[in-house]
Amino acid sequence: MAGAMGVDVGELRGTHVPVLLERCLELLAPALDTERPVHVDFTLGLGGHAEAVLQAHPTAVLIGLDRDTEALEHARRRLRAFEDRTHLVHAVYDELPEVLDRLGFAGIHSGLFDLGVSSLQLDEPDRGFSYARDAPLDMRMDQTRGLTAEDVVNDYEPGELVRILRVYGEEKFAPRVVSAIVRERSATRITSSARLAELVRDAIPAAARRTGGNPAKRTFQALRIEVNAELAALESAVPAALDALLPGGRLAVMSYQSLEDRIVKRAMAARARSTGPIDLPVELPGTGPTLRMLTRGAELPGEAEVAANPRAASVRLRAVERLKDRTGEGARERPRMSAQGARGRKRPGGRTEGEDA
């Protein structure tokens, strides 16, 4: 069946391999073991993870969010057999509160984020996400609105471009890359992903090009994040998702680069520890943890997973459960902690030592 851009949805389904599928199902399953549970797929994409959840939990209701209208169309076709218990919504993941209010749900039992660029966006040559294929410089996940990568590359001030490449792409040769871009655009507008990739490659020293994969990778990542305001949306989306979890609810997040993972880690860790004075024998009301970490630090994919699905190579998975007994709502005795453990606790205004990776 043809998709919105003439792509066969069956072909996409055959080539798309959901990342860490079995592990995500395992982590979320206890929260979905209830009558009519509500699961949110914050990054629906081609619907692989969502389909597996619906198959494994025959009474579950799915709320699938995606800003990409083409992805939504493909997912709608894939999930047609479950349409009586699915709500697919054109929205960015930080719009969850509005979506839940509109659909009449008070909270959710489970949620999953699969961050970064989707298989559809990478594999569709006209989207401009890939540095390995020539395409118009677009990179918008939602092609109905917003600036394109072409706008950013050609119209941003040089200093702002350097900042974007350094912060979002962690590109240490950002000034050299931007100098090459500015020289090129002063002569002719940069409109091609292949031409941009060539400019980046030539700007980076030969010695640095020999390791780390395609030298344009970091620049393309930075532009994609800027075009889609990904980090700003994520900074509000993760707390909103945690707020929406019902007691016993679970949230899993898969990140693919350190900037995303850092945001997720901080949001989860802040709610998984006490905020009260460390030397009191009881937890003060409102200061106890409200989350339990389900993963020890960030879980990485195994060799078999990467071999079967190379796009899983950089994934980092974190998951939490909202405590059924909200320990922050009443005084309770604190478990005894060693001096070493106490030193690892976060003090108000201080830094945490011994925090997980």
Helix (H) or strand (E) run with residue 291 in it: strand 291-293
Same CATH topology for 9-114+231-276+286-331 and 138-228: the answer is no
Query: What average pLDDT does the segment 287-300 reach?
Result: 92
Give the CA-trace dihedral at 321, 119, 37, 87, to 10 degrees: 140
Amino acid at 15: T
Amino acid at 110: S
**Residue 214's pLDDT is what?**
84
Is residue 49 marked as binding?
yes
Tokens of 241: 């998702």
**Per-position b or e across 74-106, b if 16+ CB within 10 A of its CB:** bbbbbbeebeebbbbbebbbbbbeebbeeeebe
Q: Which residue, 250, 19, 8, 243, is CA-closest to 116?
A: 19
- Overall pTM > 0.85: no
Is residue 121 marked as binding?
yes
Is residue 114 marked as binding?
yes
pLDDT in tens, 94-151: 999 999 999 999 999 999 999 976 555 555 665 555 666 788 898 898 888 889 999 9
Is residue 143 marked as binding?
no
Identify the band that residue 349 occupies on the pLDDT scale cut at 50, 70 and 90.
Answer: very low
The residues near 323 (Cβ < 8 Å, ≥ 6 apart) are 247, 289, 290, 291, 292
Instruction: Count other C-beta atoms under 10 Å from residue 17's C-beta.
Output: 14
Q: Report, at the CATH architecture level, how domain 138-228 is classified.
A: Orthogonal Bundle (1.10)
pLDDT in tens, 178-222: 999 999 999 999 999 999 999 999 999 998 887 777 888 899 999
Is residue 104 marked as binding?
no
Which CATH entry fits the domain spanning 9-114+231-276+286-331: 3.40.50.720, 3.40.190.10, 3.40.50.150, 3.30.43.10?
3.40.50.150
Dist CA 279 CA 295 (whole Å): 27
pLDDT in tens, 74-96: 999 999 999 999 999 999 999 99
Dist CA 232 CA 69 (whole Å): 21
Between helices 158-169 and 217-228, what is the axis angle to 10°?
A: 100
User: Using an 8 Å Cβ cutoff, are 107 and 119 in contact?
Assistant: no
Helix (H) or strand (E) run with residue 86 in it: strand 86-90
Query: What average pLDDT does the segment 333-356 reach?
Result: 38
Q: Which residue, 344, 342, 339, 347, is CA-closest to 356?
A: 344
Give the CA-trace dihedral at 338, 340, 345, 350, to 10 degrees: 140
**Higher-pLDDT residue of 238, 278:** 238
User: Using an 8 Å Cβ cutoff, are 110 and 52 in contact?
Assistant: no
Domain boundaries of the chain, sorted by first residue = 9-114+231-276+286-331, 138-228
Amino acid at 167: V
Is residue 126 marked as binding?
no
Give the CA-trace dihedral at 69, 24, 234, 263, to 10 degrees: -160
